[in-house]
Structure 1
Amino acid sequence: MELRHLRYFIAVAEELHFARAAERLHIEQSPLSRAIKDLEYDLSVQLFERTTRSTRLTWAGQVFLDEAKHVLSAVDQAKASVKAAANGYRGTLRIALSDGIYPLRLAALLAQCREDEPDVEIRLFEVPLAQQLKGLRGGLYDAGFAQAAEVGEDIVAQSVWSDPLMIAVPARHPLLAHKRIPLTELIRYPLVLCHPELCEGCYRQIERILRTVDVEPVVAEHAASFDLMMTLVAAGYGLSFASESHMMVCRHPEVVARPLAGQALLLTTYLLRPNAESSDPLNRFVGRLLEATASPTIIQ
């Protein structure tokens, strides 16, 4: 099995069309088909169900797609680490980011790390939470940031930042009559929520809040990014939830922030890392992070 076979397989699995995959890979369709047949022969499994009208992944193919991406990611990281060493770096930290982590705090942390240890390269990867957890368990990442604490016993989740949760309301909306918006009033209007897979940790925290009201929310749209979410709110698609920090940094002239009525609600960001002995660069990274936070809580 060669690495090119994995790249060919991923292209076909994502396109589900041999001609489009061949065009994407800049090769002819017949060598692509032969490579996939060779791969299936090597693995002794059928990866695709092919008819004259469609191409679909088998269950074995779906499982292999995850593993193939994992292998190529590990190879790419190995190449990057070698290049970093050749450029003078003495260590590398691979940090995964999920849920749209607050940019100013992260920027300040990275700037401090570069000042204190310029010979340690910090590489960042924006990935969904499920991919971050798999990467932490498989050694692809040294640590990560996400807004989820339910991550399994083999991962340590340590709260590092908490931001007041706000409601993003279109300008001139009737709910702006409230200085603090009751959840029972909010739930009467359509909502624009973060994407449940791309922003899984944040979505879980919002979902817990919505479950406290015995009314099924109407979700108008799911947004994959904060900018898109604010665009949809400004256009009147619905109301949304956002951290106070994000609202302050990414102001939109047609969106107004209001707190929820009752007890103040917080959106918490966690540092995630394997529940195992950490490297010296990671320990120093965590130390700098904790210097900027007060009384962190550890959840295992």
Structure 2
Amino acid sequence: MHHAITIDALRALDAIDKKGSFAAAAESLYKVPSALTYTIKKLEDDMGVALFDRSKQRASLTPAGQLVLEHGREILLATHRLAASVQQLESGWESELRIARDSIIPHSPIFTLINEFNKLEQNVDISLSVEVLGGGWDALHSRRTDIVIGATGELPKGLFETHHIGSVSFTFAVASHHPLASLDSVITAEQLAEYPSIVVSDTSQLLPVRDSGLFKSKQVIRVNSISSKLEAQLQGLGIGFLPHHIAEPFLDSGQLIVKECAIPRPAQDLYIAWHKDSDGKACQWFIEQLKQQDWGVK
């Protein structure tokens, strides 16, 4: 039992759960399926429990397997952090840097910076992700990212370093063929309630979630990004507020129509945020460069 749980066994368990099958997991780990099957079977024998229910066509985790996976992922994350910390201690450069942006932030400036960073010829992997609303703060809080761009809302006190990069204003816009497009008067709350609203869902996993542009409506249609919200409103599927810098090209083309709405949506300040203890050279390089970018919000 002392040697039952190994890092290889935990990696195998994690891969099987993520990939959905032993064969796909084995391929992702560059192993043959029989090797993965042996690793899991040995772990089950050593622990004296079944980790997978094999009574059906597709093996599924048992409650014991789920427990081992949950705690095992914490161990894998700690192992990764340890290896990264040792490498950073030696060179000052992290082995990986994770950058998250809110979906209202354009990705082009980040790609430009990565191109410049690569000229430094440092062996640093870069992972990019997208968060929505409170998801940025949540990603920092849970340490699934190192830097977040476009964090909004109330600033967590004392936990992170922040830099203000501007503010985003919102425009209530409807598709040119939407029934509200031809209305000349201010749209009232009662009129809003007659149509579906398009709402971007928060990506927070641990911290409390919030919805973007939520008001009383006939139906709430939740999407996972601001680009999906834009597309839904362009198709006339629903109504709602859009960041002005994102809606502007479609306002100019006439595909979207600005309407005055009785329920205002105030502008939001945007921040770059990072951990106070982030002292790696890659993180510091990106922070300084990100501060100087024009993020095109207004």
TM-score between both structures, scaled by the size of structure 2: 0.64
- The equivalences for 1:119-158 within 5 A come to 119=120, 123-128=126-131, 136=140, 141-145=145-149, 146-149=151-154, 151=156, 153-158=158-163
Question: Aligned equivalents of 1:127 and 1:77: distance in 2?
Answer: 23
Residue in 1 that maps onto 2:237: 237
Give SS of 2:102's match: coil
**Aligned AA (2:128):** F
- The equivalences for 1:35-50 within 5 A come to 35-39=39-43, 44=47, 48-50=51-53
Residue in 2 that maps onto 1:192: 198
Instruction: Say if 2:103 and 2:131, in contact at 8 Å, map to a contact too.
Output: no
Residue in 2 that maps onto 1:206: 212
Residue in 1 that maps onto 2:167: 162
Q: 1:39, CA displacement in angstroms?
A: 4.3
CA distance 1:61–1:6, change in 2 (3 Å): closer
Q: 1:126, CA displacement in angstroms?
A: 0.8
Q: Which has the larger radius of gyration?
A: 2
Q: 1:96, CA displacement in angstroms?
A: 1.8
Residue in 1 that maps onto 2:36: 32
Instruction: Say if 2:201 and 2:210, in contact at 8 Å, map to a contact too.
Output: no
Give SS of 2:103's match: coil
Instruction: Say if 1:46 and 1:60, in contact at 8 Å, map to a contact too.
Output: no
Offset from partner CA, 1:161-200 (integer Å, 9 cap, x none): 3111123422221222257644553343112222332799
CA distance 1:166–1:74, change in 2 (3 Å): farther
Question: Aligned equivalents of 1:205 and 1:269: distance in 2?
Answer: 17
Count of residue correspondences: 278
Of all paired residues, the percent bearing the same amino acid is 16
Question: Aligned equivalents of 2:54 and 2:201: distance in 1?
Answer: 33
Q: 1:160, CA displacement in angstroms?
A: 2.7
Offset from partner CA, 1:248-289 (integer Å, 9 cap, x none): 357786444446446551244322212347457655654555
CA distance 1:265–1:113, change in 2 (3 Å): farther
Residue in 2 that maps onto 1:266: 267
Question: Aligned equivalents of 2:114 and 2:55: distance in 1?
Answer: 58
CA distance 1:230–1:134, change in 2 (3 Å): closer
Instruction: Say if 2:241 and 2:265, in contact at 8 Å, map to a contact too.
Output: no
Q: CA RMSD in A?
A: 5.0
Residue in 1 that maps onto 2:12: 8
Instruction: Say if 1:166 and 1:260, in contact at 8 Å, map to a contact too.
Output: no
**Aligned AA (1:96):** I
Question: Aligned equivalents of 1:258 and 1:200: distance in 2?
Answer: 36
1:60 is the counterpart of 2:67: yes
Q: 1:55, CA displacement in angstroms?
A: 0.7
Question: Aligned equivalents of 2:173 and 2:81: distance in 1?
Answer: 40
Further displaced range: 269-278 or 66-75: 66-75
CA distance 1:17–1:163, change in 2 (3 Å): same
Q: 1:71, CA displacement in angstroms?
A: 5.9
Question: Aligned equivalents of 1:40 and 1:112: distance in 2?
Answer: 44
